[in-house]
Amino acid sequence: MKRTRRNVLSNATKLSALLAGIGASGAVSAESYPEWDPDAVYTGGDRVVYEGSVWEAQWWTQGDEPDTESGPWEELEEGGDENDNENDNDADNGEYPPWDADTVYTGGDRVVYEGYVWEATYWTQGDKPGESEWGPWEEIEEYDDGDDEDDEDDEELTASFSISTQFPDPGEEVEFDAADSEGEIESYDWEFGDGTEASGEVVSNAFDEGQYDVTLTVENADGETDTDSVRITAGRPSSDEKRVVAYYRQWAQYDRDYLPRDIPYDQITHVQYAFARPEEDGTVTLVGDSHGQGAFWDQGDDWRGVDGGTFAEHAAEHDDTKFVLSIGGWGDSEYFSNAALDQENRERFAQSCVEWVDRGNLDGIDLDWEFPGGGGCTDEDPVCDMDNIVREGDQERFTLLCQEVRDHLDDAAENDPDRDEPYELTAAVSANPDVAEGVEDGMNGLEHDKLSDILDFLLVMTFDYRGIWSETTGHHAPLMESSDDTFEDAEIWNAEYALQYWEDQGWDPDQLNMAVPFYGRSWTDVQPPEGDFGTGEDDGLFQEYEGDGADASGDGSYPSWDPAMGSSYAGVWEWFDLGGDGRGNSNNVNLESSEWETYFDEEAVMAWSWNAEERTMISHETEESMEAKMQWLRDAPYGGTMLWAIGGDTYEGDLIGTLWNTLNE
C-alpha cells in the first residue's frame, strides 16, 4: 500500500523534536535541491544548496545564511555542483542500509525494508517503515539491488499451460504447451487423467470419449513444485442419470402464477426457457412483451422483475442443472427459413444465440423449428393465424444453421476460462416420420448423418398423437400401440415406434429423449360405440365425437382461443386441474367425483378419464401411467425424457416426483 506523507503533522513533529534538542544527521540523496532563499521559511529537514554545498535545516529558520558555525543549518555535502552529488551514487546503486530497530534516524535518512526504499521524515527509532500511515517513514520506491540474475533465481515458480482445444473429438490429438510457466524449471510432468503420463514442455495426447482432468506439475532445482490443471471434454458429456428436460413457459408467470423460483431443480437435469423466436434477418428475440421477458433476465428495471429471481439468476445459482433457451416452437417458427437462408443470416442467428447464452448464464440452445420442410403453423390454425415460411432446401439449410450455431457455441466455450465443458445444442423434432422428413411437402428428408454429429441430443415430441383433428378419441401420448385402436396407422402412432424410427436413421439411442405431457386433451359430445368398435364399451376411448373446434373439445384449463390468455387450444387440461386443486383462475375438474371414472390402458401405457353424463373424455397422464412409462424408459437404451411443461404439475409436484424417482432413483 502506498504510504502518504502528511506534511502538516510531520513538520510539526520535526519542529517539536528539534526544539527539544534532538540533532540530525543523515545520508545525502541524489535529488536536486533549491538554492537557499533569504525570504523563504524553512523547517527541520528542508534542504538547500548554498555556495556549492548541500545544507539541511535543523529547525524553523528564515534569513539565516547557512554556515558551519552554530545555527539552524547543518552542512551535508561539501563542494560540487548542486545536481552532481557524488555521495548520491550509493543511492543510485540501491546501496541503502536495511532498517534497524536500534538505530536512530533523522529526517532524510533512507533505509531498505521489505523490498522498498523508505525515507525518514523526522527523528525516529524503533518505528517500522509502513507500520502506520501517520508514522515517520515515507515509501520512496521499490528496492532494486541491481542483481538481475538473482531476480531470475528468485522468480516465483508458477505452472501454466495452453491447449490446442479443450473440447476435442474422441481420438483427436490435443497439444499442451507449458511455455507460459515461470521460474527456474527443471522438469515438466503431465498426468492426462486417462492413466497415461508424459514429460516435457510441449506434449500431446488423444482422448477417448469422456471427461479428463489433465494436470501439469513443474519442479525447480530445489525440489519446489507447482501445478496447473484443466478439464478436457472429449465428445459429448455423459451422465449416469437419465436426462429429464423440462420446458418452462414464460407465460406460466401469469394465470398459472408459476415462476422460475417454483421449478424443482433437484428433480430435473435440464430446464428450457420457452420461447425465443428468429426474426426475418436472423436475429433472435424473446417472445412476449418487455414485462413478460422479465422472467428471463434482469433488464435493470425493478418493475419488470419477478419474485424469487429470474431464469438467468437461477441459472447462476444451480450448477447441477443445465439451463437452455429454446428457440421457435409451434407458434414462433415463422422465420426459421429466413434465418437459415444464407450465410449472413446464419451467422447473425448464431451470434444472437451466443449473446443470449451470455445474458442468461445458459448452458446451451435448443432449436425448436417446427418444422424444416413444412408441416408446422398455417393461417388456418387459430393458434398461429399465419403461415410458416417454407422453402425448398430448408432441410439442408437446417444442417448448415445447426453447424453455424455449433461453431459459435464451441468458440464461446473455448474462450470462457470458467467453463469446463462445451455448450449444448439440441433440437425438438416431430414424432411423425412424414412431418420430420417433410414428405407431405415433397422434401428430401433431414441429413441425419450430419445432424447426429452436430447436435447433442433430440427431443422427440411423442405427444399430441390425438386431438380434435382426429377421427375418434384416443390416447394423445401412447407409449405403445393399443390393440383396440381403430386408427389405421396405430402401429406407428406411438412413442416406442417414434424412438425406433429415429434410431434407425443413425442416431445413437442415448441421443434420443422421449417426451411426456403434463397436460391432457379432451373431446365432448362423444358418441356411443357401434358394436365392438374400439373397446366395445361406452367408456369414451376410441369413439367418434361430434362438433368442431371448441364445440368438439370442451373448455380446457384456460378456455380461450387467444394464446396470450393461457392454453392456446380449448380442450387442453393442465395436470394441476386433473390431479390437483387447480392453479390461479383455472377450470378445475374433480376426477375423484362420482361423475368421472379414470382408466389405465396397460397396452398403450396411458390413462384416460370419462364422464358418461357429460359425454366428455380426457386423455392424460396419471402417476400410475407416468411410473409405468419411466420404468420402461429406465430399462431402455434411450437418453431420457422431455416434459411439456413443468408449470402444468400440481403444487405438490405429483408428476415430476413420480417421474424423477422412478427414472433416476
Q: Which domains does the chain have, with CATH numbers?
A: 7-146 (2.10.10.20), 152-234 (2.60.40.10), 243-517+621-664 (3.20.20.80)
What is the structure's pLDDT at 584? Answer: 85
- In 3D, which of 8, 2, 3, 15 has the Cα closest to residue 122? 15
- In 3D, which of 498, 504, 458 has the Cα closest to residue 479? 498
Provide the sign of the torsion angle of the four alpha carbons 62, 65, 71, 76, taken in this order.
positive
pTM for the model: 0.76
Distance CA 107, CA 13 (A): 11
Distance CA 502, CA 459 (A): 11
What is the structure's pLDDT at 90? Answer: 43
Q: Which grid cell is 100?
A: 534497524
Task: Give residue for cell 386443486.
Answer: 581
Distance CA 82, CA 61 (A): 21
What is the structure's pLDDT at 76? Answer: 81
| DSSP state, residue 3 | P
Cβ count within 10 A of residue 1? 6
Distance CA 622, CA 641 (A): 16
| In contact, 366 and 329? CB cutoff 8 Å | no
What is the structure's pLDDT at 327? Answer: 98
What is the structure's pLDDT at 10? Answer: 38
Give how far Cα 440 sits from Cα of 57, 398, 512, Å: 102, 18, 24
Residues (pLDDT < 70) of the chain are 1-32, 77-94, 145-154, 301-304, 382, 560-570
| In contact, 387 and 445? CB cutoff 8 Å | no
Classified as helix, coil or strand, 124 is strand
Bridge partners of residue 365, in order along the sequence: 325, 425
What is the structure's pLDDT at 87? Answer: 35
Give how far Cα 278 sits from Cα of 290, 400, 407, Å: 17, 16, 18
**In degrees rounded to 5, what are phi and psi of residue 635?**
-90, -5
Distance CA 270, CA 363 (A): 9
Classified as helix, coil or strand, 217 is strand
